[in-house]
Amino acid sequence: MVSGRGLRGAGATALAVVLSCCAIIWFTATAAQAHAQLVRSSPAAGSVVARAPQVVSLTFGEEVQAGDGGIDVYDDRFAPVDAGPVLATPGDPFTLRVSLPPGLAPGTYTVAWRVSSGDTHPVAGSFRFSVGSPSQVRGTLPDPGRNEGVGTFLGVLRWVGFVGAALGPGAVVAALLVWPAGLGQRRIRVLVGTGLGLLAVSTAGGMLLQGVYASGRPLAALWQAPQTLDSHSERFDRVYAVRSYLLVAAAVGVVALLGLPAPARDRWRRVWVGVAVVATLALLATWPLVGHSAVPPGETLAVGVNLVHIAAMVLWLGGLCVVLVGLSVDRDTVARSALPRFSVLALGSVAVLVASGVVLAWREVGTVGALGATTFGRVLLAKSVAVVLLLGVANLARRWVARRTAPDHAGNTGDPAWRPFRRGLVGEVALAAVILGLTAALVSIVPGRQAAQSTPDTSSSSGTSGSRVVTGAPDPNGSCPAAP
């Protein structure tokens, strides 16, 4: 039985991990840039054209969909111009366009856009151009852009989802592989139920808050004006709907599995392992489908590698938690049978994790220089350091298990050395949770290859407000400097 002192220590550790992960996501989210960055526009940002254009076109650094956003044009008093619908450009999946009414009056116009990039992240920005000559601009741009505070909370929900996947489906698969009898233990069932609950919170919260984030509305719009909310991404809506259905199916399957008597679970264990693995992979596949891996080039291979990467991490962390809880329930049985099996499982998971991580890192960063020059690269380096530390701790634990479960140590589980071993497992779990936090943060940050290679529109941007003229190139979010 775990003492009150041990519970307090575990609670303090869990609280410290949660706060650390939230801080990681918060600070990295504030440094994140847009994903589908504006590369160029026609008319060019800040340009003065002699004749009124018939079309405004925007070209982005990623593929964009016409139905996943909007382009609005305003005059110098921010009255909307009667622009046509947003259309895709035939043969060019990177460019969107809207038609303008004929005979635009001379003056300065503001183009405000919001789109969803290929990885489902909403992006908003604006720029100005002038017809004939610049005019004085008065008023405020009505487009609110994004709700960045809610965007940060979405990052926390992604981390909650990763943790839930490890404690729920990951723990079920690991238990079936290393300690099937553990599924009959109340604490293991509580662990799995907690994981499924966290997955449900992450999924439902993401579906609710994505519309707030993408629409730039306050949180109160959820109950005051839900009709004004839009995720601006058909892919996000479809993938999260599928995730919710898969989660319900997984919960039903887990209840059915845990409701079986132990002999029935043992007799059909291989069948249950196959079902659990397939169901877990299907559920985990919904993460890379709404992330950087879903963006060309090579998105099919990237999604597959990312799925394997997430699955290895979830299985490893789920197995760690099963073993840790198991040692407090039935230390002798876990030490004799589950620990040696988990050692083999962990070794395989680590090999897959490292290999797939290297492939994904190279795809997203592209160059060695981008590691230190971009936010994505720096967070990736921090994650790599944490993984190396985790591998070191895990290797010490594996060697310890090999010695203590040798024939001359069999049955000697009362050895006081088990206490520091358990503390080492707690440290492993804490490090793994921090790594999941860094992974959740990376989803929100522009990949290093795109941030390093992006070339915003080099034409000057000018706007007038009173007698002041502001010039400059668009910022990384695709917005040009605008006069106050």
Cα–Cα dist 179/231, whole Å: 42
**Which pLDDT belongs to residue 67?**
67
Question: Which pLDDT tens digit goes with each residue over 314-330?
Answer: 998 899 899 888 888 88
Cα–Cα dist 65/295, whole Å: 13
Contact 113, 73 (CB under 8 A): no
**Phi-psi category of residue 71: left, alpha or beta, with phi > 0 → left and psi -120 to 50 → alpha:** beta
Radius of gyration (Cα) for the chain, nearest Å? 26
Q: In the chain, which stretches have pLDDT less than 70?
A: 1-36, 66-69, 143-148, 398, 400-420, 444, 446-484
Residue with tokens 């079902």: 275
Beta-strand (E) ranges in 432-481? 463-465, 468-470
Cα–Cα dist 182/265, whole Å: 11
**Which pLDDT belongs to residue 458?**
34
**Which pLDDT belongs to residue 427?**
77
Report how far apart, in Å, the C-alpha atoms of 351 and of each of 146, 163, 246 are.
39, 21, 28
DSSP secondary structure, 43-71, as one string: SPTT-EESS--SEEEEEESS-EEEEEEEE
Domains of the chain (ranges plus CATH)?
Answer: 7-32+148-451 (no CATH), 39-137 (2.60.40.1220)
Secondary structure of residue 445 in the 3-state scheme: coil
Cis peptide before 53 (omega within 30 of 0): no
**Which pLDDT belongs to residue 476?**
32
- State the pTM of this model: 0.74
**In terms of Cα–Cα distance, which of 441, 361, 443 is closest to 24?**
441
Cis peptide before 85 (omega within 30 of 0): no
**In terms of Cα–Cα distance, which of 143, 126, 216, 146 is closest to 470?**
126
Helix (H) or strand (E) segment spanning residue 156: helix 148-165
Query: Do you know the residue count of the chain?
Result: 484
Count of CB atoms within 10 A of residue 332's CB? Answer: 12
**In terms of Cα–Cα distance, which of 383, 472, 464, 397 is closest to 427?**
397
- Which tokens belong to 229? 């909310």
**Max CA separation in the chain (angstroms):** 92
Secondary structure of residue 128 in the 3-state scheme: strand
**Which pLDDT belongs to residue 147?**
66
Secondary structure of residue 375 in the 3-state scheme: helix
Burial category of 309 from C-beta neighbours within 10 Å (exposed 0-12, middle 13-18, buried 19 and up): buried
